[in-house]
Amino acid sequence: MSGFRVIQGGRAADGQPGLLIEGAAEVVTMVGGLRRGPSQDDPALIPAASDPPGDDAPVVACWEGRILAVGPRAELLQVLEDGGYPIARFARLDAAGGTITPGLVDPHTHLLFAGSREGELVLRQQGAGYMEILAAGGGILSTVAATRAASVEALEEHGRRWLGEMLNHGTTTIEAKSGYGLDLATELRLLDVAHRLGAAGPVDVLPTWLGAHAVPVEFRSRPDGTEAYVRHCIEEQLPGVAAQGRARFADVFCERGVFSPDQSRRVLEAASRYGLQPRLHADEIVPSGGAELAAEIGALSADHLAAPSPEGIDALARAAGTEQPVVATLLPATTWFLMHEDFAPARTLIERGVPVALATDFNPGTSPTPSLLHVLTVACLELKLTPSEALAAVTINAAHALGIGDEIGSIEAGKAADLVVWRVPTHLQLPYWPAADLVRTVIKKGRVVVERPPS
């Protein structure tokens, strides 16, 4: 974090209602809605016509937290004048020859947990499998034990720390799952902390109930433990979660040896009846019917997909041709960190017209990275996405995976002014400098929330 100044709550552009960001080498607008097929590779770029960028450089204008206009300087100033926006009411921000993109959107995180599991990395190096560690009562279950024992203050402190890391890497909106409580009281605590951290800002947090993440120890000793826990999720947890009103989505770990497609369907259909939109962990380790189920129930997003069946890919391709496509949210940093060989078939999904998003899957077991930029690099190297495809996957498509593609994810008039100014002259360099600090400035709802001293 060194070198960054995080400004809690943000600096309101020197008290002005407007903010003009000038001097960029390019603006990646991502205008044009959800990307799929060939359009996934189109960043809807506005480049500066000259190098170094001069009067023709693209400018982004924000007004009271929203994007007002974007375009080449001369055109944009005309738009402001015609619209009656006095130029004197705009604070100025110099992009200093950098790239401007929409704020990054992370549509799959397990933000809140206690403890850490570095020991599993060594176990996996020695040949232990992820599911084997879980079946032996470790993995998710060890984090559940630590999380149940953690105080609200400790969870809040942890959440603030990692949200700060995410923000410093350019992320302005995340989804955050519960799933390390597995009892009503702890699940509610996690959802409430996620909600309150988002309300405090600057990063927006959309909470997801993931009660069906694993079968907790107290159910494991029963002969029908998984079934009994599924009923507990539907009959005990879900009504409480719905009454609390914090969760926006419901998720299930649909995987062989965890929850079957039928059990996952029952949980997600019950959740839908309470107004929680379905998404799911699908085919992370082996083909488990997750992609098929996501298409069947019209989930917003099917996540992981490292091992979908051919039928599952067909089902997602069919859904992609409808009004309500299921976004394939791929988590390649997880496959990488698990040292698995088979990454999600991203090229096939794109060729079949399935919209692809990317997420960190931030969690203590399979993906302890808060950085979407790191995910971008892994996606380019292992999923063979182009840099533009990968960037669409963490902006506009990630926003659609959260059902808020009309509000964030692109730089267009009327949307929230969530922006990142990067210290590179082209977005093609975003995946190109692994582990470098590339953020110059982060703007959330028109306010400067991270700024890096000029280098």
The alpha-helical segments, DSSP class H, found in 55-137 are 73-82, 118-125, 130-135
C-alpha–C-alpha distance, residues 117 and 123, integer Å: 10
Bridge partners of 26? 47, 99
Contacting residues toward ligand NIG, per CB under 6 A: 110, 139-140, 143, 253, 281, 284, 334, 361, 363-366
Q: Which two tokens stand for residue 26?
A: 């390019």
Q: Work out what residue 35 binds among ligand NIG, Fe ion, none; the CB cut-off runs from 5 to 8 Å by kind.
A: none
Is there binding between residue 361 and Fe ion (CB under 5 A)? yes
Q: How far is the CB of 239 from Fe ion (least distance, A)?
A: 24
Compare residues 361 and 418 and give the one whose CB is closer to Fe ion.
Answer: 361
Q: How far is the CB of 108 from Fe ion (least distance, A)?
A: 6
What amino acid is encoded at 149 in this protein?
A
Compare residues 22 and 283 and give the one whose CB is closer to ligand NIG.
Answer: 283
C-alpha–C-alpha distance, residues 176 and 384, integer Å: 27
Q: How far is the CB of 417 from Fe ion (least distance, A)?
A: 30
Indicate the residue whose CB is closest to Fe ion.
361
C-alpha–C-alpha distance, residues 441 and 279, integer Å: 32
Q: How far is the CB of 371 from ligand NIG (least distance, A)?
A: 16
Indicate the residue whose CB is closest to ligand NIG.
365
Q: Work out what residue 175 binds among ligand NIG, Fe ion, none; the CB cut-off runs from 5 to 8 Å by kind.
A: none
The alpha-helical segments, DSSP class H, found in 209-282 are 217-220, 225-232, 238-244, 261-273
Compare residues 25 and 326 and give the one whose CB is closer to ligand NIG.
Answer: 326
Is there binding between residue 255 and Fe ion (CB under 5 A)? no
C-alpha–C-alpha distance, residues 403 and 399, integer Å: 6
CA 336, 342, 347, 353 dihedral sign is negative
Q: How far is the CB of 404 from ligand NIG (least distance, A)?
A: 21
Q: How far is the CB of 166 from Fe ion (least distance, A)?
A: 15
Q: Which two tokens stand for residue 113?
A: 């947990």
How far the first Cα of the chain sits from its last, in Å, is 15
**Span from 145-153, 267-275, 290-298, 355-363 in contact with Fe ion (CB under 5 A):** 355-363
Return residues touching Fe ion (CB under 5 A).
361
